[in-house]
């Protein structure tokens, strides 16, 4: 027999259950429900929040895949837009053209403009004016036309200087497809507009002869033996060597670096250059950039930026709030004063100071991020602090401390999870707040995030405001995006708050 006092090593078989009862607790009849699962059940009941969450999901998906989906040769060649200047095109969608989403705009134009647009149609065969609704005659005898204008065609021509290779290549493409890009060169000196191929005064108003436009095509000089499509009425159509044939280019430079200055029709040139017919879902902006991809890129930037700030704020705020709330006393007092002071600075002042000091060193994005972080953690910290004050005196914390838990464990394992609900809601609500502030600041021009590869929604708003009256679509889509985002985040945040607020538990609305 072993030592009876050796109670540390009592053999297991000496033990038995008193009344054949199993030692484990009774099994749960229902499934276990965690913190998040519980919140999810409550969240699901809130229909508007679900809808809002779906809209947010769509916007996020748009931000992620938009730049990929919308990526074409045109959007990839960022520098092209500057010389092609295919600007301010209206939104056009083949699918929804019957809804008026066809790149056309209704407007009232004067006689001179009517002639101007018709001249483009006469030369190219593409209809600028899709429809004439009505004509009016003003009291002083001038005609006004209510028409629908196709912005893709009315953009018309531009002068382009081509190299020998490009010149030949375009001609080959013309022969292949039967679409004309290069139109005859013109001789007028007094108008710079490439669209005016007819006699006109200095203002560009056509001088009619028997109600007809009089062309001013160049009929002399060298055009490098243009051998492709010719427009109707060209004597060169029958005889390519006719002396009076239209010339399609003006040659500059010497024979070693010869260049051809041509009148290029943007609509067909676009097809030649990028391989598809121009059609922009959201139109193009004042620089000719595609708004669909640009907005998606801006949204992507805004989302990533906001999420980063939210994460950093959460991290800093949680730690500082926990320390403040747990230890209290002097630390709390000092940190409270610091927070008061930081809270008192208007955000615009912070952003400006950071911009002035840091933007040149680390770039505008980083300086803006710092500005958001410097003041952003305060909200998180105070909500964490509040929860700590509420829970640090509870019995379970005392019990844990009695069992020997250290401060760090008490803080982050036992007390901190209580503030998770408010923190999650807070974190989510930081995102629309940051996007709103960022868009305001960029709109006001304090921060400039614009570059050929980067943009933000606020920048797009700022760029569009000059064209609000004439081309509202440039500002419409970014504004809609922001509006949709803010509304759905607000609804979503409300839903989250209700779901995580245990006070509502069991209470049906």
Residues that bind another protein (CB under 8 A): 340-341, 344-346, 348-349, 352-353, 356-357, 385-386, 389, 432, 436, 439-440, 443-446, 461, 465, 468-469, 472, 475, 479, 482-483, 486-487, 489-491
- Give the nearer residue to another protein in terms of CB position, either 235 or 328: 328
Q: At closest approach, how far in Å is the CB of 208 from another protein?
A: 33
Residues 6+ apart with CB under 8 A from 50: 43, 44, 495
Q: At closest approach, how far in Å is the CB of 51 from another protein?
A: 12
Q: What are the CA-CA distances from residue 330 to residues 43, 194, 324, 343, 408 (Å)?
A: 40, 75, 9, 20, 19
Q: At closest approach, how far in Å is the CB of 78 from another protein?
A: 26
Rounded Cα distance, 415 and 384, in Å: 10
Contact indicator for 132, 147 with CB cutoff of 8 Å: yes
Contact indicator for 211, 245 with CB cutoff of 8 Å: no
User: Please, what is the angle between helix 473-500 and helix 420-444, to 10°?
Assistant: 160
Rounded Cα distance, 298 and 88, in Å: 19
Q: At closest approach, how far in Å is the CB of 342 from another protein?
A: 9
Q: At closest approach, how far in Å is the CB of 440 from another protein?
A: 5
- Give the nearer residue to another protein in terms of CB position, either 204 or 472: 472
- Give the nearer residue to another protein in terms of CB position, either 149 or 482: 482
- Give the nearer residue to another protein in terms of CB position, either 167 or 436: 436
CA dihedral 268, 270, 275, 280 (to 10 degrees): -110
Closest CA to 229 of 193, 182, 283: 182
Which string of DSSP letters, residue by residue, matches 74-139? Answer: HHH-TTHHHHH---SPPPB-STTGGGT-BSEEEEEEEHHHHHHHHHHHHHH---SEEEEEEEEE-T
Rounded Cα distance, 269 and 278, in Å: 10
Structure tokens at 402: 């009695």
Q: At closest approach, how far in Å is the CB of 333 from another protein?
A: 11
- Give the nearer residue to another protein in terms of CB position, either 246 or 436: 436
Q: At closest approach, how far in Å is the CB of 476 from another protein?
A: 8
- Give the nearer residue to another protein in terms of CB position, either 46 or 439: 439
- Give the nearer residue to another protein in terms of CB position, either 242 or 483: 483
- Give the nearer residue to another protein in terms of CB position, either 168 or 486: 486
Would you give the DSSP letter of residue 182?
E
Sheet holding 129-137, edge to edge: 104-110, 143-150, 129-137
Q: At closest approach, how far in Å is the CB of 485 from another protein?
A: 9
- Give the nearer residue to another protein in terms of CB position, either 61 or 349: 349
Kindly tell me the sign of the dihedral angle through the C-alpha atoms of 428, 433, 439, 445. negative
> Torsions phi, psi of 22, nearest 5?
-75, 150
Q: At closest approach, how far in Å is the CB of 422 from another protein?
A: 15
Q: At closest approach, how far in Å is the CB of 443 from another protein?
A: 6
- Give the nearer residue to another protein in terms of CB position, either 258 or 386: 386
């Amino acid at each position: 027999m072993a030592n009876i006092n050796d109670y540390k090593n009592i053999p297991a078989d000496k033990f038995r259950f008193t009344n054949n009862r199993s030692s484990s607790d009774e099994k749960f009849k229902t499934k276990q429900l965690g913190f998040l699962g519980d919140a999810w059940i409550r969240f699901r009941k809130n229909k508007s929040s679900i809808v809002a969450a779906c809209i947010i999901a769509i916007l996020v998906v748009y931000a992620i895949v938009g730049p990929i989906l919308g990526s074409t040769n045109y959007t990839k060649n960022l520098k092209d837009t500057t010389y092609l200047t295919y600007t301010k095109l209206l939104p056009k969608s083949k699918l929804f053209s019957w809804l008026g989403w066809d790149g056309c705009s209704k407007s009232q134009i004067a006689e001179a403009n009517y002639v101007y647009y018709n001249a483009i149609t006469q030369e190219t065969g593409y209809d600028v004016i899709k429809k004439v609704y009505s004509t009016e005659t003003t009291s002083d005898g001038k005609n006004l036309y209510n028409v629908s204008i196709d912005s893709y065609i009315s953009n018309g021509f531009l002068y382009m200087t081509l190299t020998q290779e490009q010149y030949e290549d375009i001609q080959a493409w013309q022969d292949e497809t039967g679409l004309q890009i290069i139109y005859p060169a013109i001789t007028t000196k007094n108008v710079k507009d490439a669209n005016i191929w007819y006699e006109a005064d200095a203002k560009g108003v056509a001088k009619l002869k028997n109600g007809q436009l009089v062309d001013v095509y160049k009929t002399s000089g060298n055009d490098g033996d243009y051998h492709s499509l010719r427009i109707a009425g060209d004597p060169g159509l029958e005889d390519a060597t006719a002396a009076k044939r239209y010339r399609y280019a003006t040659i500059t430079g010497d024979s070693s670096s010869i260049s051809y200055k041509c009148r290029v029709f943007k609509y067909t040139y676009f097809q030649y250059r990028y391989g598809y017919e121009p059609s922009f879902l959201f139109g193009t902006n004042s620089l000719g950039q595609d708004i669909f991809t640009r907005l998606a890129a801006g949204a992507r930037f805004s989302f990533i930026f906001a999420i980063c700030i939210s994460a950093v704020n959460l991290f800093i705020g949680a730690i500082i709030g926990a320390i403040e709330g747990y230890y209290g006393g002097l630390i709390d007092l000092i940190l409270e004063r610091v927070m008061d002071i930081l809270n008192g600075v208007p955000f615009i002042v912070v952003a400006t100071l950071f911009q002035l000091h840091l933007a040149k060193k680390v770039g505008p994005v980083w300086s803006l991020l710092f500005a958001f972080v410097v003041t952003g953690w305060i909200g998180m910290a105070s909500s964490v602090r509040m929860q700590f004050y509420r829970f640090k005196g509870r019995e379970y914390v005392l019990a844990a401390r009695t069992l020997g838990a250290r401060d760090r464990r008490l803080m982050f394992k036992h007390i901190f999870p209580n503030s998770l609900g408010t923190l999650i809601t807070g974190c989510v609500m930081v995102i629309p707040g940051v996007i709103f502030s960022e868009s305001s600041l960029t709109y006001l021009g304090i921060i400039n995030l614009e570059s050929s590869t980067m943009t933000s929604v606020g920048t797009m708003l700022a760029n569009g405001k000059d064209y609000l009256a004439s081309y509202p679509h440039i500002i419409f889509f970014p504004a809609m995006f922001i509006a949709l985002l803010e509304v759905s985040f607000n609804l979503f945040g409300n839903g989250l708050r209700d779901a995580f607020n245990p006070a509502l538990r069991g209470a049906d609305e």
